[in-house]
Copies of this chain bind each other. A is one copy, B any other.
Amino acid sequence: MVVQSVDRAIEILELLLREGEAGITEIADELGVHKSTASRLVYTLQARDLVEQHGDRGRFTIGIGMLRFAGAVTGQIDLARLGTPLCESLAEKLGETVNIAVLDGAVAINVSQARGTSAVAAQNWTGQRTPLHATSSGKVLLASMDEQDQERVLAGELTAYTPNTIVEPDELRTVLKRVAEDGYATCFEELEPGLHAVAVEVLGATGEVAAAFSASGPAYRLSRKRIRQIARELRAAAAELSGQLGYIN
């Protein structure tokens, strides 16, 4: 029941998301369609601002019209709707940046964020995808996967973002075991220099891990001792969110 041309248009969006930018010929090759077909599909997306062109040749990207949908999504999905107030109160309490992230294929995607009063980081992670292996949220989500899915991620490329990023599969396996035991995951300058983070799991109605709830801040403020304290706060908030999502312990 898939409408093929619509599916192709979505495939174009996914391609632009992956590649950053592409031209008509490249898009046609990737889709396995004729250039004129690709041109028309892109034209349709462009007419609605979902795709835009930077320059005359080859540089189509996701368009600014997509921004309109971001607020709608975060206002509507339960995790964002229910979790955002919790994010905000926790950010105020901790003074750090608090995020909720969910699994999206082989990456984590942030669906909610609130910044605390001490937060210096300018980055808004909402809607941004982050690598599973290099973030505290990602490790929580990885640890919750069945072994087959987990191995699939570990078999992929574990990109180094800093000298601290865990890129050895064996090391990551050990870390994930520890996450399961500790009930929280940490990240010490593995994604960005100077950035520490800690995350715990949020359970959905059926008891499966629905999301990761995390707090992040500069290394100088997030010592290992403080991280453990924050993990406790996160766990309490996560339990409340789990309850709101329908989980009964």
Binding site for B on A (CB under 8 A): 1-3, 5-7, 9-10, 13-14, 16-17, 20-21, 39-41, 43-45, 47-50, 52, 61-77, 80-82, 84-85, 88, 102, 104, 109-111, 113, 115, 119, 122-124, 126-129, 244
In the assembled complex, 29 residue pairs joining A and B whose CB atoms fall closer than 8 Å, in A order, are: A1-B43, A2-B40, A3-B5, A3-B40, A3-B44, A6-B41, A6-B45, A10-B48, A14-B48, A17-B72, A20-B72, A49-B127, A50-B69, A61-B76, A62-B69, A62-B73, A63-B73, A64-B73, A66-B69, A68-B126, A70-B71, A70-B127, A71-B110, A71-B127, A71-B129, A74-B127, A81-B123, A85-B122, A122-B244
Cα-based distance from A77 to B122 in the complex (angstroms): 13
Interface of A is mostly: helix
**Total copies of the chain:** 2
